Amino acid sequence: MSQGDGGVRARMPGVPLPLLALLLVPLAAAPSEPTDTLDAQKNYEEVLVQWGLAQNGRQVDPEPEGKPLEAVLVALEDVVAETDPYPGFLNTLHVRSREEVVRREVLLAPGQPYSEALANETARNLRKLGIFAVVRAVAVRGETPGSVALLIVTKDVWSLRLNNDFSAVGSLLQYLRLQGTEDNFLGRGKKVALDFILLLDTWSVGQSYIDKQLFGSRWTLNESAAVILGRESGRAEGTRGTVTLSRPLFSLATRWSLTTQLTWNMETSRTFRGADVWQLPFPGGEPVPYVYNAREVTGSVLYLRSWGDVLKWEAGGGVGAYSKAYSPPVESGLDAEQSAWFQSRFLPRSEDAVHATGSLRLFEARYEVLRDVDTYSLSEDFQVGPSLTATLRYAPPLFASASHFTEAGLAARYRVRLGDALTTVSTAGTLRRQFGSGAGWTNRRWATEVHQVSPRVLGGRFVARGLLDVNVDDVNERVVLLGGGNGLRGANVDAYAGRRLLLFNLEYRTPPLIIRTLHVGGVLFYDAGSAYVRRPDLVQSVGVGLRLLVPQFNIIPFRLDFGYVLDGERPPVGSRFLAGGGQITDNRPTFLDTPLR
């Protein structure tokens, strides 16, 4: 969607490639039994619940609230169950999650009064681990009269895989990520990975490790590092990486969290339009390639305290420092005038700073579970009600090169569920006051998004999104690129550019055709968007798409779309096909969630 921090790429932990044919053969060969679509979606998880009840010889307790909790029971199902159409030997290639991984996330203990809210929060936390296709928390009758037990039913998602995340428009592969991972190492919920990323100008190789239960504790370790190489030169161009150690707010009752982080990025950044580096129109001279060297190092420590039950308050502060430097490379051959023009108009601002940060978050601890929004039959968690995050940062001039500024960021969201419909309104803004040399106001940016999920219509759903992102002046000199798989389907890749973005997406997502456990759905869509400087000039497109989901092996759908531009330049037919992971509405500015980064 944009250069800089403007967008989030749709992500796709894909089906392991060597298994793809193996998965589809039994699906294609096996006739699907006639079944009501909505019942089939419900039954995917309900069948597992019934299996878990049978495993433990229990029955559902219809009124468990407040009864003494007798025990916590765990029913762990393999990736391939007896009812699945896949060969059982696949389970020998996957280590099933250990019971201790599940029990560590349970927020209820025997002897306590049963709380449906804590049972639901336990299920949400387990789903966040990303190692389960299904998690259900069910209250069952205890063996002692008047008591209740909590039954946790899980089904693993395939974890040993070649994940793939890509964006392709026609024959142009804009982005490809291949990640050999074990997402559930030895069944302990730890992720180890080797990473390969291919861009239009570079490729990188790296590794990552994520441990959300470090040494069996509530601490989380996340580290990654990669080497970046130029595709044409074959030489190393830089490195990037991050190390984060944190004790998160792992439940609504947790009272404090601590996060320490170090990140670095040393690379040559190139902004493309289509398959070529963007040539900026230097007035009265040769075009200037949109290429610059980036050197960024950032470190921070943040402590938070949490209060409240239904209405939650989180407040805290910390310190941080960064050094950011941007310059045109010598290879660009720019003269002094071109370099000054390029740096003043397009390069992010080089800056060193040491800062103190204060933050406040207010939200309502109320959650809803919906299905058939983005992932068909799988449970999806949504926090409803208000959510407000405010951040204030002050950077004093502690040394000669340090910047002196105060800046504030605000992000707000309100989500409401009415029946089976879900409405979300989000907005965010930033403002900075610079002191000393170059004093004045900067980082003036705001954005708003409205996202609407309709009730079921003919079994499917309408999903609509409107997004407005207004950049008046920001230190990163952000440029928005629009066209292709980033929101305006059917248009030329990155055909439109500007400082601001206006985008509309409307889809009708059909109910899935369920062939055994393969979910196949269709999409009809209308897009309209503009990347602009002063006034928007909307370009419209329409099209059709296909979504595929195999719950045992993937929890995010595969997306294939074909678009047709109604009132703008149309690319060749082959370039109107778009492929990627997730839904098109996953492409949204990260600014809406974290305006100060």
pLDDT digits (tens, 9 = 90+) for 412-467: 999 999 998 999 999 999 999 999 877 899 999 999 999 999 999 998 999 999 99
Which residue among 156, 183, 215 closes a domain?
156
As a whole number of angstroms, the distance between CA 54 and CA 62 comes to: 17
Of 247, 278, 285, 273, the closest CA to residue 571 belongs to 273
- Residue 70 falls inside a structural domain: yes
- Do 264 and 324 have their domain in common? yes
Task: Please tell me the distance from the alpha carbon of residue 271 to that of residue 497, in angstroms, as a whole number.
Answer: 11
The HSE-up count of residue 439 (CA atoms within 13 Å, CB side) is 2
Token pair in block for residue 230: 């130029």
**294 lies in some domain:** yes
Residues 152 and 174 reside in one and the same domain: no
In sequence order, what DSSP letters do the residues of 373-409 get, joined into one string? SSSTTS-EEEEEEEEEEEEEEEE---STTB--EEEEE
What confidence score (pLDDT) does residue 4 get? 44
Q: How many Å is the Cα radius of gyration of the chain?
A: 25
Same domain, 459 and 480: yes
Under 8 Å between Cβ of 549 and 512: yes
The enclosing H or E element of 548 equals: strand 539-549
* 146 and 228 part of one domain: no
CA distance to 43, 105, 114, 140, 404, per residue, from 120 (Å): 19, 12, 11, 14, 46
C-alpha closest to that of 211 among 172, 251, 258, 243 = 243
Pairing relationship of beta strands 380-395 and 351-364 according to DSSP bridges: antiparallel
Domain limit, last residue, from 156, 179, 195:
156
Q: What SS3 class is residue 196?
A: strand
- Do residues 43 and 168 share a domain? no
User: Do 373 and 278 reside in the same domain of the chain?
Assistant: yes
Contact 443, 473 (CB under 8 A): yes
Tokens of 550: 């195999």
For residue 333, what pLDDT is reported?
Answer: 86
Q: Do 110 and 212 share a domain, yes or no?
A: no
Residues 408 and 513 in one domain: yes
- Do 103 and 174 share a domain, yes or no? no
Q: Identify the pLDDT of residue 2.
A: 46
Q: Does some domain include residue 570? A: yes
Task: Give the CATH number for residue 237.
Answer: 2.40.160
Together in a domain, 149 and 187? no
Q: Is residue 1 part of a domain?
A: no
Tokens of 396: 């004093």
Tell me how many domains the chain contains.
2
State whether 246 and 100 are in the same domain.
no
Residue 213 and residue 109 share a domain: no
Q: Is residue 578 part of a domain?
A: yes
**C-alpha torsion 528→532→534→537, nearest 10:** -30
Residue with tokens 């201790």: 100
Element (H, E) at 122: helix 116-128
Kindly give the parts of the chain with pLDDT less than 50: 2-42
Torsion of CA 246, 218, 8, 243, to 10 degrees: 40
Which residues span the domain enclosing 282? 160-592
Whether residue 2 is contained in a domain is answered as no
